Amino acid sequence: MEEFVAVGRAARRAERTARVEEAIGKGAAPAALDLLELVEFAWHDCYGDTTPSENVVEDILTCAQGDLARMIRFARLAVEDWRDLRMTADEIRSAENGRGTDGLAR
């Protein structure tokens, strides 16, 4: 039987700090980490899960493109409909890799 180990909010924040600093910048990172905590509260209220998956967090950071205001916008979208967030993040990743959303090189 697998053992379940609960990871607290403070531990998740600590684990995400370096990635958030890289994505948003050190100056805005504390506010961005606070925003991710708010996303957790909203996620729990909407979906019953303690936190969104790290894939959803990564999608939020990808869509933010280094801008805290964009991060706020896409954090809200994550809670409203994470599938729309995923589509937007995939489009951004495809554009960054020089590929269209159909996967073909441009």
**pLDDT tens-digit profile of 39-94?**
999 999 999 999 999 999 999 999 999 999 999 999 999 999 999 999 999 999 99
Whether the pLDDT of residue 11 is over 90: the answer is yes
* Tokens 């960054």, residue located: 96
Cα–Cα distance for residue pair 48/46, rounded to 1 Å: 6
Instruction: Decide if 44 contacts 50 (C-beta within 8 A).
Output: yes
Distance CA 65, CA 77 (A): 15
